[in-house]
Amino acid sequence: MPINRESTAKRGLNPDRMPKSLAIVMDGNGRWALERGKERIEGHLRGVEVVRHIVTECCELGLDQLTLYCFSSENWKRPRRELEFLMALLKQYLIDERELILNQNIKFRMIGRRQGLSAEVLQELDETTRISSENTGLTLAMAINYGARGEILDAVQSLARRIKSGELDPDQIDEQAIANSLYTAGMPDPDLLIRTAGEYRISNYLLWQISYSEFWFTHTCWPDFDVPLLHQAFRDFAARERRFGGLITHPTV
């Protein structure tokens, strides 16, 4: 899907210097709530509203892919009440956003392990994936029960099983074979990774895929993240020189 040149120009963005694939670590929901004397779940509720605005804007701009880190495999360590709320919120989000997903021609995908998720959540994930499978606009990938080390482990085990069955020769394993065995098979690697809430770490997110991604950090917590801040990240991205290990005089995206 080509970048929407008219929409980017209206926003003062350079259509030739836009990321086509964006990944976001949506951090700081609980912190945002506690700083305001609210329960952590209030931050998650506000965070869902922000997701809606950011997804809509990425559709308007013509991005190919948006990958959101929603729930990590490490998040199961959180209090039971918060976990139950997060799973209920995820289920409701999938139901409530289907109309928007269809109206905006969004193709939905989940990346992560299905084990551990309830049958009710898996049912809604599968239904949203099914009804949007023929859409040709933005691919919205939600990382749920996701951890990059687990993803790589699963890929290695998958390749090992293929070798054991005689389907694959070890010498045939290259970078593409590994990429094709990851949860993100067929998806573009992120051009830009955004993390909110002032944390400067990757937190086990897309470790293979972000090898050449640009990083952009903000101290703003996710519930306060907005479209103007997204545009600022895009402008900063446009000013960077992406060499991919080489030397160039005039950088291109």
- Catalytically active residues are 27, 75
Of 182, 223, 230, 225, residue with least CA distance to 66:
230
- Ligand-binding annotation for 199, yes or no, is no
- Ligand-binding annotation for 203, yes or no, is yes
- Ligand-binding annotation for 236, yes or no, is no
- Ligand-binding annotation for 198, yes or no, is no
First to last CA, the chain: 15
- Ligand-binding annotation for 202, yes or no, is yes
Residue 84: HSE in the Cβ half-sphere, 13 Å Cα cutoff: 3
- Ligand-binding annotation for 195, yes or no, is yes
- Ligand-binding annotation for 31, yes or no, is yes
- Ligand-binding annotation for 245, yes or no, is no
Check the CA dihedral 60-99-55-35 and report its sign: positive
Of 48, 16, 56, residue with least CA distance to 32:
48
Q: What is the DSSP letter of 52?
A: H
- Ligand-binding annotation for 28, yes or no, is yes
* Cβ pair 82, 33 in contact under 8 A: no
Residues 6+ apart with CB under 8 A from 31: 43, 197, 221
Residues annotated within the binding site for Mg(2+) are 27, 214
Residues annotated within the binding site for substrate are 28-32, 40, 44, 72-74, 76, 78, 195, 201-203
Residues annotated within the binding site are 27-32, 40, 44, 72-74, 76, 78, 195, 201-203, 214
